[in-house]
Amino acid sequence: MRVTKEDLHQLIQNKIHKAGLSEDQAAIVSDVLTFADARGIHSHGAMRVEYYSERIAKGGITQNPKFEFKKTGPSVGIFEGDNGSGFVAAEKAMDHAIEIAKETGIAVVGIRNISHSGALAYYVERAATHDMVALSMCQSDPMVVPFGGSEPYFGTNPIAFAAPSNDDRIITFDMATTVQAWGKILHARSRKESIPDSWAVDEQGNSTTDSTKVNALLPIAGPKGYGLMMMVDILSGVLLGVPFGKHVSSMYHDLSKGRELGQLHVVINPEYFVGLDTFKKSISTMLDEIKEIVPSEGFKEVNYPGERGRMREQKYEENGIEIVDDIYNYLVSDDIHFDYYDHKNKFAE
């Protein structure tokens, strides 16, 4: 099924509002999810609405959260999420971080006690459109074996980075610290597809190509990815006083309870370093030089991070966004489930 970005946005917003969030909050949730689908990050788009709706309806995402932002230092602040929507909290926290970095050159804003906040690219790009360089990272539920281990301990703990250029290009690097994000396994399952044998292991700890048999994911590049996911958990979990490591709540364990997740935004204002104009010009030069590199065999061109997503977005603008039929049918239905995801094994869905 192909839908326009505008129609998809409205459908998601309607469903999230029906589940219990205010129109304003539902619009922000839909901004982030539609952004993800439009960029081809389908693992973090409309596919998740059914789950979020159940959690909202059951109170596991606070419907009317008491968000509070406290500055704890000239460039540092903590955004209390009250276990509300991670999308809304992360966007609002990013806006605080941008304002602080405009004044002081840098902002480090921790966001604590939130639910899932989706594709982190959205938040860092928001900063880049305000001429800032940004990093964001967050916790996710433990489903990754540490290097050399047979049991999951860390989450897929993503890191995103964005930087503005002197033209309309933005570098947007956004990755899970696992070979693949959990959402990619879900996406493969929703399409009844197999997965490459380098992504995940089954219950016995052996690598598997069966997307329905996954019991834990593998970190990128062995000990290096393991070290990065540990760093993310320390900066977005331990530093903010929320549960860490294997104590991070599971997406499906109890949908009536808040997830208490942590996220960290770091925003840097280039004006306070080399100067904004010089910085942006250098980024454009870097991208030009990269684009001039002769592609190796099998590649049509060298892309910079975020470029392919934006190319997809342009294609979707012409032809509509491809949405799996089951997901579309759910979005247009009146359904909000109360017992579909709750207490499922985190690897079962």
**Active site positions, annotated:** 116
Nearest in space to 184 (alpha carbons), one of 203, 211, 219? 211
Q: What region, left, alpha or beta, does residue 85 occupy, with left being phi > 0 and alpha being psi -120 to 50 degrees?
A: beta
Segment contacting ligand NAI by CB under 6 A, of 162-170, 181-189, 199-207, 320-328: 181-189
> Does residue 308 bind ligand NAI (CB under 6 A)?
yes
Residue 272 and residue 216: Cα distance in Å, rounded?
A: 43
Q: Per DSSP, what are the bridge partners of residue 3?
A: 321
Check if the beta carbon of residue 81 is closer than 8 Å to that of residue 65. Answer: yes
Contact 141, 248 (CB under 8 A): yes
Nearest to ligand NAI of 127, 138 (CB atom): 138
> At closest approach, how far in Å is the CB of 275 from ligand NAI?
26
Q: Which residue of 213, 303, 320, 335 would you call a contact of ligand NAI, by CB under 6 A? A: 303
180 binds ligand NAI (CB under 6 A): yes
Among 17, 44, 112, 265, binds ligand NAI (CB under 6 A): 44
Q: How far is the CB of 157 from ligand NAI (least distance, A)?
A: 7
Which H or E element spans position 111? strand 106-114
Element (H, E) at 225: helix 223-236
The least distance separating ligand NAI from the CB of residue 95, rounded to whole angstroms, comes to: 19
Q: Is 309 near ligand NAI (CB under 6 A)?
A: yes
Closest by Cα among 113, 79, 142 to 259: 113
Q: Are 229 and 32 spatial neighbours (Cβ–Cβ below 8 Å)?
A: no
From 95-103, 118-126, 278-286, 321-329, give the range in contact with ligand NAI by CB under 6 A.
Answer: 118-126
Tell me the sheet residues that pair with 335.
none
Choosing from 98, 111, 121, 170, the residue that interacts with ligand NAI (CB under 6 A) is 121
Indicate whether 176 belongs to the interface with ligand NAI (CB under 6 A): yes
Binding site for ligand NAI (CB under 6 A): 41, 43-44, 116-121, 138, 140, 156, 158, 160, 173-176, 180-181, 183-184, 303, 305-306, 308-309
